[in-house]
Amino acid sequence: MDERTHALDPALVRDIVAAALAEDRAAFDVTTQATVPPDQQGQATFLYKADGVVCGLDLAREVFAQCSPDLVLTVRHPDGTWVESGAVAAEVEGPLAAMLSGERVALNLVQRLSGIATMARRYVDEAAKGGPARIVDTRKTTPGLRALERYAVRTGGARNHRNTLEDGVLIKDNHLAAAAARGIGLAEVVRLAREHAAHTLRIEVEVTEAEQAREAIEASADVILLDNMPPEQMRDIVAAAPPHVLFEASGGITLDTLAEVAATGVHLISAGALTHSAPALDISIEVDAAATSAGPSGSTGQQE
């Protein structure tokens, strides 16, 4: 992870974690409240049971802090670290009951984000074999978790495409079709976008054929998205274009074909799979209970 990378917005982390704990009704954990006294202490480790990129420890810290202000998480391998199976990425210490009530929510978040970061790392490494193209994500994210998943993509070493419908102009087939139905061609659609969008945005156009790409370049589009094209065709289009035009490849690209696509000279390769299909990484929380309570000075939080 680039050392310039800024952490997740703390307010966002707080809200997502609070919603997740409420959804699980962690404050009403009948099993734990019936069987574990509030003052029993314990310790837990985040054990990575598969190789991958650590991601989401700030979320885990927030989960436990919301369960009890006395739960303290210590990071051993910070977000962005590649660890091997058997590594302990972090430890938690404090009231055991609160720890048990938050465990599932913490894992649900960390496993998902570590899974995405791990897949992003694999994509980046594979693409690098073909060329210098950036791997970027898409808007095919889990509703409610986009900011987290984009963070995981960055943590894995890939980059983010536009975040929302507001911070990028991307003229897709449906926009072109809508215009065509009104008798308006691609060049005029690019002009409309240039005319109405803020001047701070580039204009990107999705094309499926070489002829369309040429038309878009002529209309001064800044970025051309080549959708579902064979690598050779992409190479030809890129080679024929002026050097200031950017190309993004998208559609049906897998880990197997990534290097080949990167070798075509495209500048960006976008992959919905990063956020859409990354399997959760296998991680567990191993708990170690203490026999005794924290003692008179061990706990000063408001749960007392």
Catalytic residues: 104, 140, 172, 206, 227
- For the chain, the distance separating the N- and C-terminal CA atoms, rounded to the nearest angstrom, is 39
Q: What is the DSSP letter of 27?
A: G
| Residues between 55 and 94 that touch a second copy (CB under 8 A) | 58, 66
298 binds a second copy (CB under 8 A): no
- Regarding 287 and contact with a second copy (CB under 8 A), the answer is yes
Query: What's the Cα-to-Cα distance from 186 to each of 190, 211, 247, 251, rounded to whole Å?
Result: 6, 11, 17, 21
- The burial of 304, by beta-carbon neighbours within 10 Å (0-12 exposed, 13-18 middle, 19 or more buried), is given as exposed
Q: Which is nearer to a second copy, 58 or 126 (by Cβ)?
A: 58
17 to 56, contacts with a second copy by CB under 8 A?
18-20, 23-38, 40, 42
Residue among 84, 132, 199, 256 that touches a second copy (CB under 8 A): 199
Closest by CA position to 114, among listed 46, 209, 215, 194: 46
Pick the binder of a second copy from 185, 230, 279, 298 (CB under 8 A).
Answer: 279
| CB nearer a second copy, residue 1 or residue 232 | 1
Using CB under 8 A, which of 140, 187, 214, 215 touches a second copy?
140
Residue 134 dihedral angles phi and psi, to the nearest 5° = -80, 135
Who contacts 3 (Cβ-Cβ below 8 Å, separation ≥6)? none
- Residue 196: partners with Cβ closer than 8 Å, 6 or more residues away: none
CB of 25 to a second copy, least distance (A): 4
Question: What tokens were used for 116?
Answer: 């995405």
Rounded to a whole number of angstroms, the minimum distance from the CB of residue 195 to a second copy is 7
- Judged by CB under 8 A, which of 84, 132, 182, 295 binds a second copy? 182
Please state the closest distance from residue 110 (CB atom) to a second copy, in A: 11
Residue 11 C-beta: closest distance to a second copy, Å? 7
**Quick one: which of 112, 126, 213, 299 contacts a second copy (CB under 8 A)?**
112
Q: E strand or H helix at 246, and its extent?
A: strand 246-250
